Amino acid sequence: MAKPVILAIDDDPQVLGSVAQDLRRQYGAAYRVVRASSGPEALEALRQLEERGEPVALLLSDHHMPQMDGVEFLQRSRELYPGAKRVLLTAYADTEAAVRAINRARLDHYLMKPWDPPEQHLYPVLDDLLADWQAAYRPPFEGVRLVGHRWSPRTHHLKDFLARNHVPYRWLDLETHPEAPALAGTSRLPLVVLPDGQRLEEPTPVELAQAVGLKTQADRRFYDLVIVGGGPAGLAAAVYGASEGLRVVLVEREAPGGQAGTSSRIENYLGFPAGLSGGDLARRAVAQARKFGAEILNPAAVKGLRAEGQYRAVTLEDGSELSCHTVLVATGVSYRKLPVPGLERLAGAGVYYGAAITEAQACKDEDVYVVGGGNAAGQAAVYLSQFARRVVMLVRGAGLSQTMSRYLIDQIAGTPNIELRTCCQVAGVHGEGHLEAITLADAGTGTTERLPTSALFVFIGALPHTDWLGQSVLRDGRGFVLTGPDLPRGSWRLGRDPFLTETSLPGVFAAGDVRHESVKRVASAVGEGSITVQFVHRYLQAL
């Protein structure tokens, strides 16, 4: 396969030569650096690359150029290579135009000239962008292939599992892909075909994980810190704990990132003005945690917790145990099920809970519906609007201002194929084998309306994953874990006060969305996971 292309554009020959030289020195081994002296010339180069089927990873364009400025070029280039990363080179005086281009041209970053030394001002930015591109790029290859039916819940679950764990795969719909029937033969579906030809018929997520090289068994029998849950809080604790010398293992039942990992775009996270997907955030955090020596087990589900003197034991569903000094409960929350008759039989077959990313492309030229008025619902609606003909947001309340960030409300208002319907809810679902229509009820008029659709995405409420804790720690009436100052008087037996994120069982902590009265934001979850490591140190010092 040809090397992916990095395309540099500048009308100044001297600057263009300097850019190309810096790019080749750092990336020449893995990428082919192509130059263009104008926007039209660069567009023609992209057309030729597309005709030859060559991948383009990065576009690095100057802003001020005759005929076509850099923002216009980057905007028009999306028609040819929508997945390429886009960087604008600009002078200090043009930073305002560059910030506006973040939304207009879907700019990933802007750099001010001069960028010397490139080791400090150019390469770190491009390294991150190219790593993101590599993570999302799906080249034609004979790697993992998944064969199944679009409306099969088991197939949907495996697609979601592979995508969220960043395992490159090729999806072959048995009904539409020409290669699928011959490859499937008489095999039981869903079928996974590995690069070496091994065939897995109806595999479980654990069997698939083991086959593709994910880690499902712990290396040690004893740890300083066992983290249950791989969302932002758990991943932050893994990074900080391992970087400070603790023996850390993180246990995740599905895929690192948790509910946040399914977000198609997070734009209000500090330090990422162009935004990033929840999957990208999780991938970076996993790489950091592993770099410092943290173990990450997934998929691996936890079924119990018990205390043995000053030690704690976490029991996994396969019967194995992880012994440790401390435990962090960071299992997060899941979306609440819609109380609609017959809806659960269509889960994974047109009804999806937060799975916007894996199913979005299948919704091309269709009308789809999103239930919910929070940030996750807004992010999904904006992402789905790039594929669907029309996205209808269904909100029980009178508007979005009380539940959604302003930047998302503005994006939704500015997206012509997103429609907002307030004071309504789903009253019925219809379909044999897969979703075919929904019935909406208007809370104001009491009228109902049946509408055809094949996709309903649900983003409502939050239920904590805490049943496995049993009576070991105190929880509130909804199952959220009580910590620190929220513990009832008389429930704490030690001479010291409990730490801020410590539960009723000393040495067991809770962070993120699973904690009682926590702020349901990615940044706050990361903060809670990080500061818990300091409490772990103080707890260990007192043993």
Instruction: Indicate the pLDDT class of residue 140, thresholds 50, 70 and 90.
Output: low
Return the H-helix or E-strand segment holding 8: strand 5-9
Q: Which two structure tokens, joined as six digits, stand for 490?
A: 């008389």
Range 396-405 average pLDDT: 92
User: Residues 200, 299: contact at Cβ < 8 Å?
Assistant: no
- Report pLDDT for 107: 84
Residue with tokens 């990361």: 526
Using a 10 angstrom Cβ sphere, with 0-12 exposed, 13-18 middle and 19 or more buried, the burial of residue 277 is buried
User: Residues 61, 70: contact at Cβ < 8 Å?
Assistant: yes
237 vs 93: CA distance, rounded Å: 40
| Phi/psi of residue 233, nearest 5 degrees | -65, -45
Give the distance from CA 125 to its chain's centroid.
20
Amino acid letter, 443: A
Q: Check if 5-136 and 144-212 are the same fold.
A: no
137 vs 383: CA distance, rounded Å: 17
pLDDT digits (tens, 9 = 90+) for 448-464: 999 999 999 999 877 89
- Report pLDDT for 142: 63
Instruction: Indicate the pLDDT class of residue 357, thresholds 50, 70 and 90.
Output: confident
Give the distance from CA 25 to its chain's centroid.
32
Instruction: Indicate the pLDDT class of residue 2, thresholds 50, 70 and 90.
Output: confident
Q: Which CATH class is domain 344-458?
A: alpha beta
Cβ atoms within 10 Å of 542's Cβ, excluding its own: 10
Range 430-443 average pLDDT: 94
pLDDT digits (tens, 9 = 90+) for 483-523: 999 999 889 989 999 999 999 999 999 999 999 999 888 99
Cβ atoms within 10 Å of 440's Cβ, excluding its own: 18
241 vs 326: CA distance, rounded Å: 12
Helix (H/G/I), strand (E/B), else coil: 445: coil
Instruction: Indicate the pLDDT class of residue 359, thresholds 50, 70 and 90.
Output: confident
Report the DSSP pairing between strands 199-201 and 191-193: antiparallel
Range 247-270 average pLDDT: 88
56 vs 31: CA distance, rounded Å: 9
Per-residue pLDDT at 99 exceeds 80: no
Q: What's the DSSP call for residue 525?
A: H
Range 133-154 average pLDDT: 85
Q: Which two structure tokens, joined as six digits, stand for 149?
A: 């039916």
Alpha helices in 67-195 (DSSP H): 70-77, 95-104, 118-121, 123-136, 153-164, 180-184
pLDDT digits (tens, 9 = 90+) for 292-302: 999 999 999 99
- Report pLDDT for 266: 85
Percentage of the chain beyond pLDDT 70 is 98
Range 300-307 average pLDDT: 95
275 vs 255: CA distance, rounded Å: 21
User: What rounded mean pLDDT belongs to the chain?
Assistant: 91
- Report pLDDT for 92: 67
Answer CATH for 222-334+465-541 from 3.40.50.720, 3.40.50.2000, 3.10.20.440, 3.50.50.60: 3.50.50.60
Give the distance from CA 27 to its chain's centroid.
27
**29-33, 101-105, 372-376: segment of lowest average pLDDT:** 101-105
Q: Which CATH class is domain 5-136?
A: alpha beta
Identify the CATH number of the domain defined by range 144-212. 3.40.30.10
User: Residues 332, 346: contact at Cβ < 8 Å?
Assistant: no
Q: What angle, 0 to 180 degrees and rounded to 10, lies between the N-to-C axes of helices 123-136 and 13-27?
A: 60
Of 48, 47, 115, 102, which is closest to residue 71 (Cα–Cα)?
102
Give the distance from CA 412 to its chain's centroid.
20
Residues whose CB is less than 8 angstroms from the CB of residue 341 and which lie 6 or more positions away in sequence, other chains included: 428
- Report pLDDT for 141: 61
Exposure pattern of 316-331 as b/e (b: 16+ CB <10 Å)? Answer: beeeeebebbbbbbbb
Q: Domain-by-domain residue ranges, the chain?
A: 5-136, 144-212, 222-334+465-541, 344-458
Report the DSSP pairing between strands 321-329 and 85-90: unpaired
DSSP 210-247: HHHT---S-S-SEEEEEEE--SHHHHHHHHHHHHTT--
Of 510, 513, 491, which is closest to residue 500 (Cα–Cα)?
510
Return the H-helix or E-strand segment holding 325: strand 321-329
Helix (H/G/I), strand (E/B), else coil: 530: helix
In the chain, % helix, strand, coil (3-state, to 5) comes to: 35, 25, 45
Percentage of the chain beyond pLDDT 90 is 72
Residues whose CB is less than 8 angstroms from the CB of residue 225 and which lie 6 or more positions away in sequence, other chains included: 237, 241, 246, 247, 248, 249, 324, 325, 326, 327, 328, 533, 536
Instruction: Indicate the pLDDT class of residue 104, thresholds 50, 70 and 90.
Output: confident
Range 277-292 average pLDDT: 92
Range 29-56 average pLDDT: 93
Length of the chain: 543
Alpha helices in 13-93 (DSSP H): 13-27, 39-51, 70-77
Per-residue pLDDT at 197 exceeds 80: yes
Range 219-231 average pLDDT: 96
490-493: Cβ within 8 A, 24+ apart: none
| Phi/psi of residue 249, nearest 5 degrees | -130, 135
Q: Which two structure tokens, joined as six digits, stand for 173?
A: 């719909």
Torsion of CA 73, 75, 78, 81, to 10 degrees: 30
Cβ atoms within 10 Å of 51's Cβ, excluding its own: 8
284 vs 262: CA distance, rounded Å: 15
State in Å, rounded, how far the first CA of the chain is from the last one: 57
Report the DSSP pairing between strands 448-452 and 144-148: unpaired
